[in-house]
Each structure stands twice: as C-alpha cells, then as structure tokens.
C-alpha cells in the first residue's frame, strides 16, 4: 500500500485532472466538477478516498456479477499469478484458456463449439463481423459483404463495431469512416409510430426486417443484434417471439445471425444467456462484460463447426483468420472467468435471482407516479427509466437540460452510483445484490428522480 501522503484525496483529484482523459466524458465539465476517486470495493459497495460509500448501481458499467472482493475470484487470480500472469496465445496455449473454452461451450447452445478470445466487447463483435465476412468469401459467396443491424444499436466503440451501431449522439461524427449497413428498425415499443401494442410492434418491425432481408440478402453476410434487450440503446426490450423470428428469417434468407450478449450474458436477464429465453442458437455469439465477474478484461466470440471449418486449408491458401491481440486469452482473466462461472452454480445465482427480478418489477411500477417518468423497461436485472418532459405526448427534454445526468448525480449524492444513457436512468446492479440492498438502491433512485421532477415543476 502507498504511504498516506500519496492518498491525499485533494492531491489525487488534482493529478487526475492534470493527466487523465476519461472515456465518454466532456473533460471541460470534468475539470470543473467534484470528482470521485475510488479506493476500494466490498460486496455491492464502492468506497472513495474520502471513505464515502456508494451502492454500485450499474455493476461498474454492467460487468460486475457477484460483487467486489469475492473471495473465490480473488483466490483464483492469486493462484494463477503464482504460476504465470501472461504468455502469448499466438503459437502457444495455456491451461486456464483451455479449461474456460470447455466451460463456455458447455454453458452455451450445443452447436457453438469454437471459442475465439479477445479483450473487450467491441473486439468480440468486431471479430464476429470479420469471421462472417471471411466465411462467405471462403465459401465462394463474394457478394455477401454487408451487414444488417438494428437501429439505435450499440456494439462497441471500435470502427467496425461502430459501423453496426446506430447511436448518432455518440457516433455521428465518425460517419465518413464507417462501412455501409442495412438498418432494421428497432422494436422500440414506447416510441413506435403506430402505437405501443407489443403485437403490433412485433409484426410491423419483423415485416420490415423481412423486407430488408428479401431485398438485400444476396449482399448481407450477417445480421447483428442484442437479443431481448438493446442495452446502451436505452434499454429497449423486444417483444416476446422476436428473437426466434429473427432466427427463422436469417435462416430462410441465408444470413448469419450474430448475437451480441456482451451486456445480456451471464445471468443478467434471469437466464445464463438471453438466447435461452427462446432457445435460439446464433451462428456467432459475442460475450464479454460479465464473463470475468467484472474483474478483468476478457471477451470471447463463439461460433459453429461450420464457420470454423471454412477457415481450414493449406498455409498458402490464406484462409487463416488473421486476427489476434497481445493479451488474447490472458491466463489471469481466464482463471477469473472460470471462478465466476463456478460461483453461478455454487451460489445458485440464477435461482436466487427470480425473487429479486420480481421485486424490482414491482417497485419499478411506482416510478410512473413521478411526472417526468415516461416509460420503465426491465428484463431480468437490467432496467431503464426514460425521463420525458411530457408524460402524455412523450416529448423528450432538450439535450441541454441534461436531465439524465442531473438525476443520476442526485443519486450519487445520496449514495448510489448510477450513470444515465441519454435521458434513460439505468439500473443494473450486481446479480449478487440482496433484496434489502436492491430496495435501498430503488429508494435512492426514486428520490433522485422525484426531486429532479419537483424542481422542474417548480420552475
């Protein structure tokens, strides 16, 4: 541990502001704000250098699963460290990566039989795109080189992943650098033009999906989507039956299906993977975030024997998948992932999740009493509360109102760390949260939004 002078909160803040450029952050505002420097974590709590504690309401950006300082994961990493922390995966293999691949294949659908490792969700998606593209080329279908995606999608920040994304607020500026895609309208029930009835939204959005596939299937290599819930899009959930129909249509039109379960994977929706809700098997599956329980950066792209085999050939045929990162299949991260997955069984995480999901659902209903709450959406232990200027007309707040930021800042003051997605307040606590802790998180969130609402109405 460093000596106490180095931990002086004021000096730490000063140094941060002097040297660091934070992700997704307007640094001009950061410079002017009081910032929080985290010193430790315990269970579902974060603690800052001043000793103030915060409920980790967004699982340290959607990745924490069992809480912080989980003895089993800590120990697994320490054990591995006593062996080796890293060796390359190019030309070598390692024990934790082998064990983890077996485990991943065991817990995902049967026909996913191959695991390709990387370090982040963006890369896992990017790899799926490249595999799909190269697959068709090597199968002789050279025209299949485009991708279909859902509007408002978020699949990461590297340029390939941004190309299949659709959040203009983040990515509009990079337009000239992106490849062209075919957008399919996201089944956003709250703001669907012809009304919010789930059956209507499902029918009309799927009809549009089918139209895109029918007209362009000869050029479309793959359709990429988050199953069940588009997270970073603002927690947009899909009507039941949507993902199975997407699977049928992609099969019918000979288009590969890529599921991005970076956010929805590892118990988040109440099942280990969101695809289990409708027993759908994609051709490629991207996982990351919860994979290591929120401990270390690790991601994986799983695929079928059919896709894998298309890359087999003689050296000089150049069918190899030329992709890899320095830290691919890092042993510490793989060991953490193994410990994380073991804990699901040991602690019966999914069984204990059921009542928490029900409790969250029930408590979320009361949020409609707040005049600025327009819509509340939930799948499993992921929820979004959309704030609007007018409940009746659904008119959004102007961007400069920074309503999401303001509401979540209030929550932080009250002891719950939350982050918004635009005007949507996100609740995404670690799965290991107790019902009491969840209740406290909801109390704080309610108070924060309610106070914000009162202040607006008083104006």
Nearer to ligand PLP among residue 148 and residue 263 (C-beta): 263
Nearer to ligand PLP among residue 201 and residue 233 (C-beta): 233
How many chain residues are in contact with ligand PLP, going by CB under 6 A? 15
Nearer to ligand PLP among residue 160 and residue 397 (C-beta): 160
Query: What are the start-end ranges of the E strands in 271-329?
Result: 284-287, 299-304
* Rounded Cα distance, 365 and 355, in Å: 16
231 binds ligand PLP (CB under 6 A): yes
Could you give the count of Cα atoms lying within 13 Å of 265 in the half-sphere of its Cβ? Answer: 28
Q: Provide CB contacts within 8 A for 309, sequence distance 6+.
A: none
65 binds ligand PLP (CB under 6 A): no
* Rounded Cα distance, 324 and 118, in Å: 7
Nearer to ligand PLP among residue 300 and residue 339 (C-beta): 300
* Rounded Cα distance, 400 and 396, in Å: 11
Cβ-closest residue to ligand PLP?
121
Part in contact with ligand PLP (CB under 6 A); list of ranges 68-76, 150-158, 186-194, 432-440: 150-158
80 binds ligand PLP (CB under 6 A): no
288 binds ligand PLP (CB under 6 A): yes
State the nearest-atom distance from the C-beta of 446 to ligand PLP, in Å: 25
Nearer to ligand PLP among residue 68 and residue 289 (C-beta): 289
Question: Residue 79 is encoded by which pair of tokens?
Answer: 């054990």
State the nearest-atom distance from the C-beta of 454 to ligand PLP, in Å: 32
State the nearest-atom distance from the C-beta of 131 to ligand PLP, in Å: 16
- From the list 212, 240, 234, the residue with the least C-alpha distance to 224 is 212
Cα separation values, 268 from 9, 87, 178, 223, 428, Å: 34, 31, 30, 23, 8
Part in contact with ligand PLP (CB under 6 A); list of ranges 64-72, 168-176, 208-216, 255-263: 255-263
Sites for ligand PLP among residues 2-31 (CB under 6 A): none
Among 232, 300, 334, 383, binds ligand PLP (CB under 6 A): 232
Sites for ligand PLP among residues 92-131 (CB under 6 A): 120-122, 125
453 binds ligand PLP (CB under 6 A): no
State the nearest-atom distance from the C-beta of 403 to ligand PLP, in Å: 22
* Rounded Cα distance, 146 and 180, in Å: 7
DSSP-derived 3-state class of residue 146: strand
DSSP run (H or E) holding 258: strand 256-260
DSSP assignment of 8-47 equals -HHHHHHHHHHH---TT--HHHHHHS----EEEEEBTEEE
Tokens 């950061």 sit at which residue? 30
State the nearest-atom distance from the C-beta of 230 to ligand PLP, in Å: 8
CA–chain centroid gap for 7, Å, is 32
Phi, psi of 379 (to 5 degrees): -135, 120
Nearer to ligand PLP among residue 154 and residue 223 (C-beta): 154
Question: Residue 50 is encoded by which pair of tokens?
Answer: 């001043």
263 binds ligand PLP (CB under 6 A): yes
Among 156, 234, 265, 432, binds ligand PLP (CB under 6 A): 156
DSSP assignment of 356-405 equals HHHHHHHHHHGGGGSTTEEEEEEETTEEEEEE-S-TTT-PPPPGGG-HHH
State the nearest-atom distance from the C-beta of 153 to ligand PLP, in Å: 8
Sites for ligand PLP among residues 190-229 (CB under 6 A): 226
Nearer to ligand PLP among residue 109 and residue 156 (C-beta): 156
Part in contact with ligand PLP (CB under 6 A); list of ranges 7-15, 167-175, 258-266, 312-320: 258-266
- From the list 256, 231, 226, the residue with the least C-alpha distance to 243 is 226
State the nearest-atom distance from the C-beta of 337 to ligand PLP, in Å: 14
Among 225, 262, 353, 411, binds ligand PLP (CB under 6 A): 262
164 binds ligand PLP (CB under 6 A): no
* Rounded Cα distance, 291 and 244, in Å: 24
Nearer to ligand PLP among residue 285 and residue 370 (C-beta): 285
State the nearest-atom distance from the C-beta of 226 to ligand PLP, in Å: 5
195-210 per-residue burial string, b: 16 or more CB within 10 A, e: under 16: eeebeebbebbbeebb
Part in contact with ligand PLP (CB under 6 A); list of ranges 50-58, 70-78, 153-161, 177-185: 153-161
Could you give the count of Cα atoms lying within 13 Å of 95 in the half-sphere of its Cβ? Answer: 8
Binding-site string for ligand PLP from residue 352 to residue 381, where x marks contact by CB under 6 A and - marks none: ------------------------------
Binding residues (CB under 6 A) for ligand PLP: these are: 120-122, 125, 154-156, 226, 231-232, 260, 262-263, 288-289
């Amino acid at each position: 541990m460093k000596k106490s002078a180095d931990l002086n909160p004021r000096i730490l803040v000063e140094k941060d502001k002097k040297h660091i450029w934070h992700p997704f952050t307007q640094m001009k505002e950061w410079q002017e704000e009081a910032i929080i420097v985290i010193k430790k974590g315990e269970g579902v709590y974060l603690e800052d250098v001043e000793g103030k504690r915060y409920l980790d309401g967004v699982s340290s950006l959607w990745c924490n699963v069992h809480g912080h300082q989980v003895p089993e994961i800590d120990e697994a990493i320490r054990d591995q460290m006593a062996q080796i922390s890293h060796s390359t995966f190019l030309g070598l293999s390692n024990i934790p990566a082998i064990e983890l691949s077996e485990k991943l294949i065991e817990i995902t659908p049967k026909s996913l039989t191959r695991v390709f490792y990387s370090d982040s969700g963006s890369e896992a998606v990017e790899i799926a795109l490249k595999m799909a593209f190269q697959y068709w080329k090597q199968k002789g279908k050279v025209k299949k080189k485009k991708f279909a995606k859902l509007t408002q999608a978020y699949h990461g920040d590297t340029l390939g992943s941004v190309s299949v994304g659709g959040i203009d607020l983040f990515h509009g500026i990079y337009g000239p650098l992106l490849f062209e895609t075919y957008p399919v309208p996201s089944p956003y029930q709250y703001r669907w033009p012809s009304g919010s009835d789930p059956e209507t939204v499902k029918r009309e959005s799927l009809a549009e999906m089918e139209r895109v596939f029918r007209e362009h299937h000869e050029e479309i290599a793959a359709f990429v989507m988050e199953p069940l819930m588009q997270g970073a899009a603002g927690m947009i959930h899909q009507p039941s039956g949507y993902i199975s129909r997407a699977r049928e249509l992609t099969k019918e039109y000979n288009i590969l299906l890529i599921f991005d379960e970076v956010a929805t994977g590892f118990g988040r929706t109440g099942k280990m993977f969101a695809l289990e809700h409708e027993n759908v098997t994609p051709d490629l599956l991207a996982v990351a975030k919860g994979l290591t329980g929120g401990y270390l950066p690790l991601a994986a792209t799983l695929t079928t024997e059919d896709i894998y085999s298309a890359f087999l050939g003689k050296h000089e045929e150049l069918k190899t998948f030329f992709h890899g990162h320095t830290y691919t299949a890092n042993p510490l991260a793989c060991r953490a992932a193994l410990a994380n997955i073991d804990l699901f069984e040991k602690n019966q995480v999914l069984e204990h999740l059921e009542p928490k999901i029900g409790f969250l659902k029930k408590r979320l209903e009361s949020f409609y009493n707040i005049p600025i709450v327009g819509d509340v959406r939930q799948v499993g232990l992921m929820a979004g509360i959309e704030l609007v200027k007018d409940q009746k007309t659904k008119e959004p707040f102007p961007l400069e109102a920074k309503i999401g930021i303001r509401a979540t800042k209030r929550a932080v003051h009250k002891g719950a760390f939350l982050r918004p997605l635009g005007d949507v307040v996100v609740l995404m606590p670690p799965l290991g949260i107790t019902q009491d802790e969840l209740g406290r998180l909801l109390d704080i969130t309610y108070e924060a939004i309610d106070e914000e609402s009162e202040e607006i109405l008083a104006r």
